[in-house]
């Protein structure tokens, strides 16, 4: 990695509390690289050679079996994947591809495991990152298990609306096919769910959505901070 890149990486929460010597050792064989959109970065079943950190852009995690494919999650800055496989020296359980032009930090897995044993601050940061990842998975599982397709879509729209400034307008951060897969739906079911939300003030114009009756939509969605909260 170029020395000019080190301050940008050093400021990341995962690395900022490490000792200088351990940080330099960790970064010796690391890469900070920009990838084009729609490039498959890792394939499920392959050994976990690197820890990936999304610095810019967005990465889709997905899985395939029996001729089916489903989106498992989206990783945006600053997020890691796939940390558990790296620590266990195990194979990837998911594949990953860039959704757009993305800058990624790639740190060799062996280096991660070595410094994890030697640097207490880094080990604590890793544990916190894993805990956050686990809680995110629990929330997504609750979303799928406890809500109808229409409720899942309504809550996702409310979340995007908040993230984008709460102006009554939002733009879907991914295409509708990916959104459907992320919500555990088919594209046809997603289209029907959008139609169901029309009486609640949801107006769809391509990837741009107007929320004209937030009170009605929130009454239907019943947002739950233990599912939808960023900080819970």
Instruction: Say whether both 127 and 195 belong to one domain.
Output: no
Instruction: Say whether both 52 and 115 belong to one domain.
Output: yes
Distance CA 61, CA 189 (A): 21
Instruction: Say whether both 92 and 159 belong to one domain.
Output: no
| Tokens linked to 188 | 């046809």
Instruction: Say whether both 108 and 138 belong to one domain.
Output: yes
Pick from 144, 166, 181: which residue ends a domain? Answer: 144
Question: Domain with 185 in it: what CATH number?
Answer: 1.10.10.10
Instruction: Say whether both 49 and 164 belong to one domain.
Output: no
Instruction: Say whether both 170 and 121 belong to one domain.
Output: no
Question: Domain with 26 in it: what CATH number?
Answer: 2.60.120.10
The predicted-structure confidence for 22-71, as pLDDT tens digits, reads as follows 999 999 899 999 999 999 999 999 999 999 999 999 999 999 999 999 99
Residue where the block lists tokens 């879907």:
172
The predicted-structure confidence for 71-118, as pLDDT tens digits, reads as follows 999 999 989 999 999 999 999 999 999 999 999 999 999 999 999 999
* Whether the predicted pLDDT of 7 surpasses 90: no
Partners of 62 in the β-ladder: 71, 95
Output the pLDDT for position 27: 92
Pick from 144, 162, 191: which residue ends a domain? Answer: 144
Instruction: Say whether both 10 and 125 belong to one domain.
Output: yes
The predicted-structure confidence for 172-186, as pLDDT tens digits, reads as follows 999 999 999 999 999
Mean pLDDT estimate for the chain: 95
Cα dist from 193 to 71, 74, 87, 143, 197, whole Å: 18, 21, 40, 16, 6
Q: Which residues span the domain enclosing 176?
A: 148-228
Output the pLDDT for position 120: 96
Alpha carbon dihedral 24, 17, 120, 122, in 10-degree steps, equals -70
Pick from 114, 144, 174: which residue ends a domain? Answer: 144
pTM of the model: 0.89
Output the pLDDT for position 4: 66
Instruction: Please count the structural domains in the chain.
Output: 2
Instruction: Say whether both 16 and 115 belong to one domain.
Output: yes
Burial category of 45 from C-beta neighbours within 10 Å (exposed 0-12, middle 13-18, buried 19 and up): exposed
């Amino acid at each position: 990695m170029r020395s000019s890149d080190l301050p940008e990486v050093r400021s990341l929460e995962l690395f900022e509390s490490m000792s200088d010597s351990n940080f330099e050792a960790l970064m010796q064989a690391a890469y900070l690289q920009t990838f084009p959109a729609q490039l498959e970065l890792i394939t499920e079943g392959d050994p976990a050679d690197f820890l990936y950190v999304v610095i810019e852009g967005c990465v889709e995690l997905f899985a395939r079996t029996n001729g089916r494919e489903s989106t498992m999650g989206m990783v945006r800055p600053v997020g890691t994947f796939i940390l558990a496989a790296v620590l266990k020296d195990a194979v990837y359980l998911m594949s990953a591809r860039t959704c757009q032009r993305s800058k990624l930090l790639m740190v060799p897995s062996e280096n991660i495991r070595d410094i994890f044993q030697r640097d207490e601050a880094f080990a604590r940061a890793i544990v916190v990152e894993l805990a956050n990842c686990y809680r995110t998975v629990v929330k997504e599982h609750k979303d799928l298990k406890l809500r109808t397709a229409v409720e899942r879509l309504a809550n996702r729209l409310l979340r995007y609306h908040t993230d984008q400034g709460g102006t009554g307008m939002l733009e879907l951060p991914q295409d509708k096919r990916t959104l459907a897969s992320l919500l555990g739906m088919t594209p046809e079911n997603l289209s029907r769910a959008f139609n169901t939300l029309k009486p609640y003030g949801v107006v769809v114009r391509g990837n741009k959505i107007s929320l004209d009756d937030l009170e009605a939509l929130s009454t239907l969605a019943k947002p739950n901070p233990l599912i939808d909260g960023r900080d819970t």
